[in-house]
């Protein structure tokens, strides 16, 4: 997913800055762009967009892979041979998505902020040092910690749904396709639900 995350993050940073700059320029608030972009990306846009990309690519991949193993009776063969398929197929994938998604989110946030800097350096002739000094000055731990924590839950949800749909898919090749498709749909839905709950909890503790 690294290439998709890189391209998407860069485009988000570019487009977000290009769209908001004219409005802020009317109010003479162009200097607020680094703070606004960084806070918006790190709090909300970065985690949810990266999560949706991973749900589409990783979630469907897990669902299809485990589903095909179920259809071809590889999982049944593991059970007959005394191997626990849940331990080797499910837990490892859930751990992988849970650990790696926050790293992808951090990477995506940096790429998006860098994309925003590219627009500002072109339009407003802003130096790299000045831009990122304003970014770091505007950020607080209350922005970083909730976004990172919910990224772990995003990864857990993607891995869990993908494994569940693949593990319990119907027999036949059609079942594999349904498992891959439903893994994307349900994991994306869970991402929005988790995000909503995370925002509610964050507002309670912060305010």
Domain region containing 45: 2-206
Measured distance CA(184)–CA(61) in Å, rounded: 9
* Average pLDDT for 77-95: 86
pLDDT digits 0-9 by tens, 21-53? 888 888 877 888 888 888 989 988 999 999 999
* Average pLDDT for 109-119: 91
Q: Give the number of domains in the chain.
A: 1
pTM: 0.87
Measured distance CA(7)–CA(51) in Å, rounded: 14
pLDDT digits 0-9 by tens, 135-165? 888 888 878 888 899 999 999 999 999 999 8
pLDDT at 97: 93
Tokens of 151: 């990224």
């Amino acid at each position: 997913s690294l290439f998709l995350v890189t391209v998407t993050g860069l485009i988000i940073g570019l487009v977000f800055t290009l769209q908001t700059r004219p409005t802020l320029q009317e109010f003479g608030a162009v200097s607020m762009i680094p703070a606004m972009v960084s806070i918006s990306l790190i709090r909300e846009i970065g985690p949810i967009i990266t999560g949706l990309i991973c749900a589409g690519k990783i979630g469907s991949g897990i669902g299809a892979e485990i589903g095909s193993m179920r259809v071809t009776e590889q999982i049944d063969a593991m059970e007959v041979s005394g191997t626990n398929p849940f331990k080797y197929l499910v837990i490892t994938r859930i751990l992988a998505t849970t650990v790696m998604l926050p790293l992808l989110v951090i990477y995506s946030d940096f790429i998006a902020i860098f994309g925003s800097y590219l627009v500002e350096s072109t339009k407003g002739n802003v130096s790299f040092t000045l831009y990122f000094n304003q970014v770091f000055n505007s950020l607080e731990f209350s922005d970083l910690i909730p976004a990172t924590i919910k990224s772990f839950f995003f990864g857990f949800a993607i891995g869990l749904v993908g494994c569940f749909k693949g593990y319990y898919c119907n027999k036949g090749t059609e079942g594999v396709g349904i498992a891959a498709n439903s893994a994307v749909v349900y994991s994306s839905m869970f991402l929005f639900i988790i995000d909503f709950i995370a925002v509610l909890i964050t507002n309670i503790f912060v305010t």
